[in-house]
Amino acid sequence: METACGIRKEMQVFGDDYDTRDGTCIRDYIHVSDLASGHAMALDYILKNNKSITVNLGSELGFSVKEVLETSRKLTGKPIPAKIAGRREGDPAMLTASCSLAHELLGWKAKHSDLETLISTSWKAYNK
């Protein structure tokens, strides 16, 4: 979004030769509203059960860097220049969350973490 707004000249894509569907890393992005609802539900659980828990929160989907970039270009209408840079040491090809425990214990599920919602709401925030 900083590149789309002109704050940065270009964004860097760290590697395009990973064993993924398009060669870029896949990550599990989560909308701040989903994260907040998960935290609130966890707090309710802790208060009701007098017991702490540890659960993963995520979309469980996973989007590649190129998918995020192309969808950002589409939704913002901006070219968003990007440069392929070398891999960062230790970056795994894919990282996604398993939220089965959050589903089971809290009844939680991500509702706003589809790629278009993630990008469009982020773009609205940056445009302000």
Indicate whether 40 belongs to any domain: yes
Indicate whether 121 belongs to any domain: no
Indicate whether 30 belongs to any domain: yes
Indicate whether 12 belongs to any domain: yes
Residue 53: give its domain's CATH number: 3.90.25.10
Indicate whether 123 belongs to any domain: no
Indicate whether 73 belongs to any domain: yes
Q: Is the pLDDT of residue 16 over 90?
A: yes
Count of structural domains within the chain: 1
Can you name the residues that pair with 83 across neighbouring β-strands? 12
pLDDT digits (tens, 9 = 90+) for 28-49: 999 999 999 999 999 999 999 9
pTM of the shown model: 0.90
Query: Helices in the chain by DSSP H: which ranges?
Result: 2-5, 32-49, 65-76, 100-106, 115-127
Indicate whether 58 belongs to any domain: yes
**The domain containing residue 57 runs over which residues?**
2-116
What's the pLDDT score for residue 127?
A: 86
- 112 neighbors 34 (Cβ within 8 angstroms): yes
Q: 50-53 long-range CB contacts below 8 Å, 24 or more apart? A: 53/101, 53/105
Indicate whether 56 belongs to any domain: yes
Give CA–CA dist 81/5, Å, rounded.
11
pLDDT digits (tens, 9 = 90+) for 53-97: 999 999 998 999 999 999 999 999 999 999 999 999 999 999 999
Q: Is the pLDDT of residue 128 over 90?
A: no
